[in-house]
Copies of this chain bind each other. A is one copy, B any other.
Amino acid sequence: MSKNKIPTQTAANLGEHKIIEIIKNRLTPMPVMPVPFGDDVSAVNLDREQQVAVLKTDMLVGKTDVPKEMSLWQAARKAIVMNVSDFASKGVQPTAALAALGLPRTFTQKDVEEIADGLDSGAREYDAYIIGGDTGEASDLIISVSLFGTAAKSALMLRSGAKPGDIVAVTGVFGKSSAGLRLLLGGCEASADLRKSLLDAVFLPKARLAEGLALSGCGVVSASIDSSDGLAWSLHELAGLSNVGFLLDSIPVADEVKHFATVNHLDSLELALYGGEEYELVVTIKPNGWTKAKAAVEAVGGKLLPIGRVTEDKQVLVDVEGKRRAIEARGWEHFKSQI
């Protein structure tokens, strides 16, 4: 008797995105959700009309998220920054954070102090406070942060809402974290200065909170996301949820990344598009609001770089030396990608 065996799907081959879909499909939806499941943050209506409580949780796991050269202080700070970045992308000021820590038995008092200091520094850098948490034993370092803030519902910049003709823009250049991660993996070269700049992008990421708040204040952003899963993935998320496409005339690659790519015979566009753990904002802006948005971001010391237009055609394309090339829907994904 022969029988077709259906291979058992494991987390390793399902991948993060499919796992989230499986979970989402089995949850009872809250009757009123001011922010749809799967956007960068979650939210709950408050009594007061049009005000929402904004919530986010994101977990950092030693084995997959912390390269061995990263200090515990840096890891703890980064656990805060990656949550703040999601708030930034929605234009929401975080007020308070909670941290649930899983610590290996062998961690010393100094290790614990470094983690506490990193959490505090990360929170204070963005004008938030750590107000509580939980500590337990785990076989690997776990830092699970949850972030809270309030906002006017109308000020939230969701992932959906981009319209054909809108300008696609980003708050900075790309590729430094993926170049930095490649340096850490070994086999690539860089001068001391270049090495420092690329590793700083990995060890000391910054969230674009001031930029996000400035953009939200303008009221001209039609869609917004952060680039933590990579620029390409973020573009596809925005396009898919807004039911549009993008035609980009350029991908802003960091000069350091171009240099690194040349020295190491790598494709700089590949590094900029398909990286991750990079915390720029990717937004679409109503054409008549462009000047206002750019001025607002520059007023807080930031940059707003136009990279293309929203199209009716649902593809995500980039012009490279006169040729249109499709940007693939891939990026950093837990279970599938490896540091």
Residues of A within 8 A of B (CB): 8-12, 14, 16, 19-20, 22-23, 26-30, 33, 37, 41-44, 46-48, 51, 53, 55-59, 61, 63-65, 95-96, 98-109, 111-113, 115-117, 119-120, 123-124, 129-140, 142, 144, 146, 148, 150, 334-335
Contact = CB atoms under 8 A, between A and B. Distances in A.
A150 B47 contact: yes
A116 B133 CA distance: 23
B148 A148 contact: yes
B144 A59 contact: yes
Given A11-B106, A27-B119, A95-B44, A57 B148 contact: no
B61 A11 contact: no
Contacts of A61: 102, 136-138, 142
A275 B146 CA distance: 29
A128 to B, nearest CB: 9
Given A27-B130, A53-B148, A139-B139, 6 more contacts: A22-B116, A28-B130, A44-B95, A55-B98, A65-B136, A135-B334
Contacts of A9: 108-109
Nearest to A41: B132
Nearest to A131: B42
B105 A10 contact: yes
Contact of A26 (B16, B43, B120): B120
B26 A100 contact: no
A55 B132 contact: yes
B98 A59 contact: no
A99 to B, nearest CB: 7
18 contacts: A10-B106, A16-B135, A16-B136, A19-B112, A22-B112, A23-B112, A23-B116, A23-B135, A27-B129, A30-B96, A42-B131, A44-B131, A44-B148, A59-B101, A61-B102, A98-B146, A139-B140, A144-B144
B55 A124 contact: no
Question: Which of A37, A108, A139, A144 has the most chain B CB atoms closer than 10 A to its own CB?
Answer: A144
B107 A10 contact: yes
B100 A64 contact: no
A38 B322 CA distance: 61
A10 B102 CA distance: 14
A109 B55 contact: no
Contacts of A120: 26-28
A85 to B, nearest CB: 13
Q: Shortest 9 CB-CB distances between A and B: which pairs?
A: A42-B132, A144-B144, A146-B146, A30-B129, A59-B100, A26-B116, A12-B105, A23-B116, A57-B98
A76 to B, nearest CB: 10
Nearest to A63: B139
A58 B134 contact: yes
A57 B134 contact: yes
Contact of A142 (B19, B95, B98, B142): B142
Contacts of A130: 27-28
